[in-house]
Structure 1
Amino acid sequence: MTNLARIRNFAIVAHIDHGKSTLADRFIEMCGGLEARQMTSQVLDSMDIERERGITIKAQTVRLAYRARDGHDYIFNLIDTPGHVDFSYEVSRSMRACEGAILLVDATQGVEAQTLANAYQAIDADLELIPVLNKVDLPASEPDRVKAQIEDIIGLDASEALMISAKTGQGVDEVLEAVVRQIPAPKGDPDAPLRALVVDSWYDPYLGVVVLIRIREGTISKGTRIQMMGTRAVHPVDRVGVFTPKKVEVDSLGPGEVGFLTAGIKELADAQVGDTITEERRPAPEPLPGFRPSQPVVWCSMFPTDTAEFGNLRESLAKLRLNDASFAYEPEQSLALGPGFRCGFLGLLHLEIIQERLDREFDLDLIVTAPSVIYKVHMTDGSVHEMHNPADYPDVTKIDFIQEPWIKATILVPDEYLGAILSLCSEKRGRQIELTYVG
């Protein structure tokens, strides 16, 4: 059993392209997670699409061993999270498995939209934040300006912010030391009834469903009969292990540890993200507070070009749904295109990525309708209908009023662009609530 005081669980959060995956590479290199010959850039971005586009889509976890300057050996469970707003659900899930986060800010770009959104998510999850300025080796870097931005906009003390270059490795050892000093060790009783949070799950053709878990209390080992507290499904555990980033099997996992288990789970719905795993023999009295389910924002319909492929499409969506819990779908029938599915996404990039994955990973040829949103139609008899499609438009005489989705947004913008942004918002029927100057 690993000593709890020697474990640190943390995530790296930042805006897109501020260097999260590159910093994760340096950590893996410096902690000996992989030998030099096995290292590639963006080691944790395992999908081809991630490498081609230079973005992180799936949050990935890795367990590293680190010998600190105090002479003790520590275990780091690091989660590299996406930076794009469409994958913020991945970030919120990762936060639940951590006690702290490294807030990475590009010293040439400064605080950007997702820096702020992810920082607030981390503060919401009660995490300890370590501000780190990346790319300080570039001639365009302005560390003093960016420190002032972090303090003014996020409200985080940045006077002690670490200056690093993830690409060259400059200052990265100081970040590892800061993780040891500033991020609290996890808490948990190894003898209490088992409570483990399902952080992620994905489908492996050989092992079935692989479940990524964070143990809060109790221990789990091979042969344990586990029960999902949400679905009540019971499974015997085949193997438990950790990612280093290679899959490595271990005897057991205890409180504070992040690892994976397989239990011959065939049903994709049996390992829902946010569910709590407990022991069948000695169940926990109550589940862990889970995550809020994701809310799809953009909807579109997908139909196979050949209706005989409908079964394949259904199967592919089910497998993809397990690998991406923020994506929703339901069957739909179209007079012109036949049977298909209405799919919900967190944004347009999310839609594009899913479409590309269906094409590449499952070799499907699809017809995709234009993206739209859901309208709520309130009828004169008091009932409410959700309208996905213009074809569902009810009789006009029976409609009381129609609601469309709106967002409440905070826009941070330099002075010189203020006029243009305000006129853009009013063109798009935006209503200005207030205007304040920051800093």
Structure 2
Amino acid sequence: MWIPAGRSWWRGRGLAPWASGSVRTGLPRSRPAPTAAAAAESRAPHRPYGSAELKEKPDMSRFPVEDIRNFSIIAHVDHGKSTLADRLLELTGTIDKTKNNKQVLDKLQVERERGITVKAQTASLFYSFGGKQYLLNLIDTPGHVDFSYEVSRSLSACQGVLLVVDANEGIQAQTVANFFLAFEAQLSVIPIINKIDLKNADPERVEKQIEKVFDIPSEECIKISAKLGTNVESVLQAVIERIPPPNVHRNNPLKALVFDSTFDQYRGVIANVALFDGMVSKGDKIVSAHTLKTYDVNEVGILVPNEQPTHKLYAGQVGYLIAGMKDVTEAQIGDTLYLHKHPVEPLPGFKSAKPMVFAGMYPIDQSEYNNLKSAIEKLTLNDSSVTVHRDSSLALGAGWRLGFLGLLHMEVFNQRLEQEYNASVILTTPTVPYKAALSSAKLIKDYREKEITIINPAQFPDKSKVTEYLEPVVLGTIITPDEYSGKIMGLCQTRRAVQKNMTFIDQNRVMLKYLFPLNEIVVDFYDSLKTVSSGYASFDYEDAGYQTAELVKMDILLNGNIIEELTTVVHKDKAYSVGKTICERLKDSLPRQLFEIAIQASIGSKIIARETVKAYRKNVLAKCYGGDISRKMKLLKRQAEGKRKLRKIGNIEVPKDAFIKVLKAQPNK
């Protein structure tokens, strides 16, 4: 996707962000000045719905559709989304104001340890403004590219977004990607320039960047410091004034979209829902459009940010629903729920997440297989972007091949398994999904090509059965200070990338567009990019389909026997370096034997790399202090024959530790 720079691109296509039917980005052109009463109300301290009222079940019918605002916070990593969410919760009285309010909505241990948002979280806020009390439904979203699926799902329940940009860093790669997610969803965009309290902050420069890249007038930007709470009150007022209420109908039959879910071992599936029509209450019989199963609603409520049961939920509101779903397969993200006696047309749902990285996962002890299976099923309910395929290995036993959206996504999933379910696993080196166009001809007239996807290198078809191989490619966006652009271009060339575009955001920053083979960036490209740019460059990518490539299947042999677990698919130009690395790593991991072990990397019948594990030696001439030389020659010959026989009949058992060292995924530093 080409990213425009300047206002003319939007105008030429009738897509100006302020145009009717497109993204609504700013203040109305003629907005009446607030009355004195409204101004006084906005300056008055705001309270939540009422602590006494919340202890009971709040009456959600108090909020007509025109008094509801649903919005998300989107931004690049570490631009202050979670900090802004904390201040909004404090200002509305949803949580008490204390010094310990840090990442309140980040409830996972992995989120607090890494300082990033992994799981989108919802909170309902009650805010008084202009003599009315409004219901604001906030969704805090992740910022890393690997969790963009969480962002796209969250936007389905919103009518607007707060686009947060760091006043020091300016627009970054994920800022651009998130803006276009909101643009495609036709949402109102409110630009927020955060961290104006920093010593090197330059909000005026960032305003110009926003105007040039996104074509949003600079006067519509709100400058705040979420850490200090400076001017955060104006953000809430902008949400009410600039974001429209949801377009829903409460008199129609129930139509609810499941946009997220979690699993509770005592209550089953807790589904986060956005109501597009009708209402739902405890005791209603609802039907899943995906499974056509009927459920009795046990509880409905809102998140403040903890679960707060209510009597009913009405169209336009966002909340949770518990209906006794015990099986993880019953809660389908993107599913439509409706009343048993009033079937409706299902909502479009979501575009399925496309796995970009695959890795094998095996229990360290096969006796833990069933426990690990249950843990993976429950965790994939919380993270529906993970795909699971059963797999097995002669060396590692039964396991799975899991698909992830990126390397960080894979690491976080593994960490959550360990922390939340106490599961220890073997995670193999990540691979990407390749494709092959197979040719088959039963008859001369019956010729056709079949395209298959290869997620396991052991299933890679032979060249004689294939017309062409295809590898996945991504369109990468790199935003960097101009002084590092030369080094970054050199790095991209070594990764077989093709430059597509180059745009100067301002006098000092440049945005580069490259078409990358996914296999070249999946493991260590981000680390290399940070190294050559002294940590200043940011990177984001999106799927760009497949392209033809010269791919080869590389086998690893021990004394002539193929080890299937170490088979890999590589580009022809990189085969030698990859094969040499694996052979060297395996040489350091294998125990020595009484006979020599040849470790070879081969493509077909051609050996491209070799390492040798030397045999244990015994000095058979130690007791020969002289005498006939023929005696010494006979002893040496007998020793050599014995080793040759051992090599023929000797069975090389590769220890599991050696497989772990060779296959273990490289950490994303």
* Distance change in 2, residues 1:161/1:358 (3 Å): same
Q: Distance in 2 between matches of 1:409 and 1:53?
A: 24
Q: Which residue matches 1:252? A: 312
Q: Which residue matches 1:134? A: 194
The question of 1:114 aligning with 2:174 is answered: yes
Q: Which residue matches 2:455? A: 388
- Report the Cα offset of residue 153 of structure 1: 1.5
1:137-163, CA deviations, whole angstroms, 9 ceiling, x for partnerless residues? 111110110000111122222323111
Q: Distance in 1 between matches of 2:336 and 2:275?
A: 10
Aligned length: 437
SS of match in other structure, 1:159: helix
Q: Distance in 2 between matches of 1:141 and 1:431?
A: 34
The question of 1:199 aligning with 2:259 is answered: yes
- Report the Cα offset of residue 434 of structure 1: 3.8
Among 67, 82, 91, the residue aligned to 1:21: 82
The question of 1:312 aligning with 2:379 is answered: no
The question of 1:46 aligning with 2:96 is answered: no
The question of 1:11 aligning with 2:72 is answered: yes
423-432 or 178-187, larger mean C-alpha shift: 423-432
Q: Is the 8 A contact 1:187 1:255 kept in 2?
A: no
- Report the Cα offset of residue 76 of structure 1: 0.5
In structure 2, what residue type is equivalent to 1:227? Answer: V
Q: Distance in 2 between matches of 1:434 and 1:114?
A: 17
Q: Distance in 1 between matches of 2:324 and 2:208?
A: 52
Q: Distance in 1 between matches of 2:191 and 2:171?
A: 11
Q: Is the 8 A contact 2:173 2:477 kept in 1?
A: no
Q: Which residue matches 1:61? A: 122
1:342-373, CA deviations, whole angstroms, 9 ceiling, x for partnerless residues? 00001000000011111121112211110010
Q: Which residue matches 2:487? A: 420
* Distance change in 2, residues 1:363/1:133 (3 Å): same
- Report the Cα offset of residue 268 of structure 1: 1.1
SS of match in other structure, 1:404: strand
Q: Which residue matches 2:232? A: 172
1:169-223, CA deviations, whole angstroms, 9 ceiling, x for partnerless residues? 1100011111111010112111101111101011011211000000010000011
Q: Which residue matches 2:295? A: 235
SS of match in other structure, 1:383: strand
In structure 2, what residue type is equivalent to 1:191? Answer: N
Q: Is the 8 A contact 1:241 1:261 kept in 2?
A: yes
Q: Which residue matches 1:372? A: 431
The question of 1:402 aligning with 2:462 is answered: no
Q: Distance in 2 between matches of 1:49 and 1:408?
A: 29
Structure with max Cα Rg: 2
The question of 1:209 aligning with 2:269 is answered: yes
* Distance change in 2, residues 1:38/1:229 (3 Å): farther
Q: Which residue matches 1:332? A: 391
Q: Is the 8 A contact 2:248 2:276 kept in 1?
A: yes
SS of match in other structure, 1:355: helix
Q: Which residue matches 1:301? A: 360
Q: Distance in 2 between matches of 1:437 and 1:246?
A: 45
Q: Is the 8 A contact 1:203 1:209 kept in 2?
A: yes
Q: Distance in 1 between matches of 2:198 and 2:451?
A: 56
1:228-286, CA deviations, whole angstroms, 9 ceiling, x for partnerless residues? 112212101001000111211101011110000101111212121111111111111x1
Alignment gaps of 5+ in structure 1: none
The question of 1:291 aligning with 2:326 is answered: no
336-345 or 371-380, larger mean C-alpha shift: 371-380
Q: Is the 8 A contact 2:197 2:225 kept in 1?
A: yes
Q: Distance in 2 between matches of 1:322 and 1:364?
A: 17
The question of 1:411 aligning with 2:472 is answered: no
SS of match in other structure, 2:180: helix
Output aligned runs, 1:64-103, within 5 Å.
64-68=125-129, 70-103=130-163
* Distance change in 2, residues 1:97/1:38 (3 Å): farther
Q: Is the 8 A contact 1:15 1:114 kept in 2?
A: yes
Q: Distance in 2 between matches of 1:134 and 1:413?
A: 20
- Report the Cα offset of residue 390 of structure 1: 3.0
The question of 1:323 aligning with 2:390 is answered: no
Q: Is the 8 A contact 1:165 1:171 kept in 2?
A: yes
CA-atom RMSD, angstroms? Answer: 1.4
Q: Which residue matches 1:149? A: 209
Q: Is the 8 A contact 1:65 1:75 kept in 2?
A: yes
Q: Distance in 2 between matches of 1:438 and 1:211?
A: 42
Q: Distance in 2 between matches of 1:397 and 1:120?
A: 43
Q: Is the 8 A contact 1:12 1:101 kept in 2?
A: yes
Q: Distance in 2 between matches of 1:214 and 1:89?
A: 17
The question of 1:226 aligning with 2:282 is answered: no
* Distance change in 2, residues 1:436/1:39 (3 Å): closer
Among 242, 247, 251, the residue aligned to 1:182: 242
In structure 1, what residue type is equivalent to 2:175? Answer: T
In structure 1, what residue type is equivalent to 2:145? Answer: V
1:36-94, CA deviations, whole angstroms, 9 ceiling, x for partnerless residues? 369631100001110111100000000011011x1211111000001111111000001
Q: Distance in 2 between matches of 1:47 and 1:414?
A: 34
321-330 or 358-367, larger mean C-alpha shift: 358-367
In structure 1, what residue type is equivalent to 2:264? Answer: D
Q: Distance in 2 between matches of 1:379 and 1:12?
A: 46
SS of match in other structure, 2:478: coil
Q: Is the 8 A contact 1:273 1:325 kept in 2?
A: yes
Q: Distance in 2 between matches of 1:265 and 1:344?
A: 25
- Report the Cα offset of residue 411 of structure 1: 3.5
SS of match in other structure, 1:432: strand
316-325 or 359-368, larger mean C-alpha shift: 359-368
TM-score of the two chains, using structure 1 as the length reference = 0.97
- Report the Cα offset of residue 425 of structure 1: 1.8
Q: Distance in 2 between matches of 1:79 and 1:388?
A: 34
Alignment gaps of 5+ in structure 2: 1-60, 441-448, 507-669
Q: Distance in 2 between matches of 1:410 and 1:55?
A: 21
The question of 1:279 aligning with 2:339 is answered: yes
* Distance change in 2, residues 1:187/1:399 (3 Å): closer
Q: Is the 8 A contact 1:131 1:158 kept in 2?
A: no
Q: Distance in 2 between matches of 1:277 and 1:39?
A: 39
